[in-house]
A and B are shown apart, each in its own frame.
Chain A
Amino acid sequence: MGGRDATMVLLDENGIRCDGRKIDEPRRIMIRAGGLKNADGSAYIEFGNNKILVGVFGPRDVHPKHMSNTDTGILRVRYHMEPFSVTERKNPAPSRREIEISKVIKEALEPAVMLEKFPRTAVDVFIEVLQADGGTRCAALTAASVALADAGIPMRDMVAAIAAGKVADTIVLDVNNEEDQAGQADMPIGYMPSLEKITLLQLDGVLTPEEYKKCVDVGVQGCKIVYELQKKALTDKYFGKGGD
């Protein structure tokens, strides 16, 4: 998604990363619940330089009808990147990457949403990546959880997400775009903190079994930080700025 600068120092001798963060420090995260008038629920997230908008509709009638399920509601997720969201213009048609990410985000959200309460209906989640800077699937999943809650859909928990990874032989939290391009491993994690369940997990890059365990743990701890910001976004909207 971007070029790689071979001279860039990923981790200096003081343990400071290329964008000035410590190894266990996430990027700046701003989440806003609501914002769209027509959607039943919505959220906007800025996660470092990622800017993502999520709109939720439903539970509503299913079209085409054959997709509906008499036992439960269904969740449909579309993750989509705008052509202007990356350095080189992206073809607006859904790529195979976007189709796969839509599927993993859907499967990460399903355990959280009480779809069985709404048989024969659909809940649609539309994720639009306005600007991408590494870690969009985690930021998108985080915002989608807030948008579902904003839509008033009964949920067991919210899914918080962040990536852990290996950069310059060190396990770090929240891999940014430069680190993803030049780093050694990237592990996006989605986690429901109250239910203590991992619902999204992917990895590319080589890790020893010990680093693997450490990476999962760093990611899970990071999700707990994100979770607090999700709750704050909802509190701010529904109970005013001083609500927390």
Chain B
Amino acid sequence: MTSVSVIDELKKIQILELLEQGKRIDGRAFDEPRKLVIETNAIPHANGSARVRLGDTEVICGVKIQPDRPFPDTGDKGLFICTAELLPLSHPTVETGPPQPHVIELARVVDRGIRESHMVDVSQLVIEKDKSVIGVFADNVVVDYDGNLFDACSYASTAALLTSKTPKWNWVDDKPQLVEGGETALPISTIPVSITMGRIGNHIIVDPNGDEWDSMDARITITTDSDGNICALQKGGSDGFTQDQINQCGEISVRAGAKIREILKEAQKGSQ
């Protein structure tokens, strides 16, 4: 995705020319995300899971929930950790080996959006204070790439968490003991939605597809919560935004996020 060929340059020019006429290369409105399809409980071995298609980008998220040791300074809180990985089958340019900086950024931005919204109420995930807590791990794997992995991974994680069942453990003989049949829904306080926007020339577009992703001057990912507040943000790409554009992106993220949140709620209802 870093190599630039003549075809890419031609495509960039075409995308920009279309935007000047108010059109996108796949016919969407500027503030319109691609079709989002969510299949929950796709992986029955996980405590919660989701298979998400955002256009032709596909991500599978599995949530595993298990007892863990708390961090030394937060013995009264459970753990929440979200990761993301690009599988080699997702795109011809993806190689195995240690994660590249852009994959590390992806995982950290997805984690930050969900963490900063306080979606998972970790204060309710304590088995024995300072000794044992419940760890919630949301691991995302990208299986097909067509741009905007930030939102696809975020939706997959959120859908998987919304439909997760956490087992119950009691503290017996200084160790956690599983309570059979004690599963309950995870304590959820809000539904975060990340909206990634690209800037091409002076145009801001929501949910860039693969071709648009390669043509962007800069991008911004903004996560909003159920109250319509902004809880995390990351700017990326090799150029900047004006202050007006940053404000505009904030407004778009609240508006577009509300619509995606309804789709996530439907997916949650559908799994019950």
Q: Which residues of A are interface residues toward B (Cβ below 8 A)?
A: 3, 71, 96-97, 99-100, 102-104, 107-108, 110-111, 187, 192, 195-209, 212-213, 216-217, 220
Q: A71-B4, A111-B239 are in contact. Are A202 and B233 (CB under 8 A)?
A: yes
Please tell me if the beta carbons of B220 and A207 are within 8 angstroms of each other in the complex: no
Which one of A3, A103, A187, A206 lies within 8 Å of B73 (CB-CB)? A3
Please tell me if the beta carbons of B246 and A207 are within 8 angstroms of each other in the complex: no
Measured CB to CB, the closest approach of chain B to A158, in angstroms, equals 13
Measured CB to CB, the closest approach of chain B to A126, in angstroms, equals 16
Name the A residues within 8 Å of B242 (CB-CB): 196-198
Please tell me if the beta carbons of B243 and A216 are within 8 angstroms of each other in the complex: yes
Q: Can you spell out 9 A-B residue pairs with CB atoms less than 8 angstroms apart? A: A71-B4, A104-B105, A196-B243, A199-B240, A204-B232, A206-B229, A209-B228, A209-B250, A212-B250
Please tell me if the beta carbons of B101 and A107 are within 8 angstroms of each other in the complex: no
Please tell me if the beta carbons of B238 and A107 are within 8 angstroms of each other in the complex: yes
Q: A96-B104, A209-B228, A209-B251 are in contact. Are A198 and B234 (CB under 8 A)?
A: no
Please tell me if the beta carbons of A198 and B101 are within 8 angstroms of each other in the complex: no
Measured CB to CB, the closest approach of chain A to B192, in angstroms, equals 10
Q: A206-B117, A220-B243 are in contact. Are A198 and B235 (CB under 8 A)?
A: yes
Of all chain B residues, which has the CB nearest A217? B243
Measured CB to CB, the closest approach of chain A to B149, in angstroms, equals 15
Which one of A97, A201, A204, A205 lies within 8 Å of B241 (CB-CB)? A201
Please tell me if the beta carbons of A202 and B234 are within 8 angstroms of each other in the complex: yes
Please tell me if the beta carbons of A107 and B231 are within 8 angstroms of each other in the complex: no
Interface: B88 (CB within 8 A): no
Which one of A71, A102, A107, A204 lies within 8 Å of B236 (CB-CB)? A107
Beyond the given pairs A198-B242, A217-B243, 12 more chain A to chain B contacts, judged by CB atoms under 8 angstroms and listed by A's residue number, are A71-B4, A96-B107, A99-B101, A99-B104, A100-B108, A103-B104, A104-B234, A187-B233, A197-B242, A203-B233, A208-B230, A209-B230
Please tell me if the beta carbons of B238 and A202 are within 8 angstroms of each other in the complex: no
Of all chain A residues, which has the CB nearest B217? A111
Q: A111-B238, A206-B117 are in contact. Are A198 and B229 (CB under 8 A)?
A: no
| A197–B199 CA distance with the chains assembled, in angstroms | 13
Please tell me if the beta carbons of A103 and B105 are within 8 angstroms of each other in the complex: yes
Name the B residues within 8 Å of A195 (CB-CB): 240
Interface: B121 (CB within 8 A): no
Please tell me if the beta carbons of B239 and A199 are within 8 angstroms of each other in the complex: yes
Which one of A99, A201, A217 lies within 8 Å of B233 (CB-CB)? A201
Residue from A197, A201, A202 having most chain B Cβ neighbours under 10 A: A201
Q: A103-B102, A209-B254 are in contact. Are A216 and B230 (CB under 8 A)?
A: no
Please tell me if the beta carbons of A208 and B229 are within 8 angstroms of each other in the complex: yes
Name the A residues within 8 Å of B93 (CB-CB): none
Please tell me if the beta carbons of B231 and A205 are within 8 angstroms of each other in the complex: yes
| A196–B108 CA distance with the chains assembled, in angstroms | 28
Please tell me if the beta carbons of A206 and B235 are within 8 angstroms of each other in the complex: no
Interface: B22 (CB within 8 A): no
Name the B residues within 8 Å of A212 (CB-CB): 230, 247, 250
Q: Which residues of chain B in 90-104 are interfacial with respect to chain A, using CB atoms and an 8 Å cutoff?
A: 101-102, 104
| A195–B236 CA distance with the chains assembled, in angstroms | 18
Residue from A100, A200, A205 having most chain B Cβ neighbours under 10 A: A100
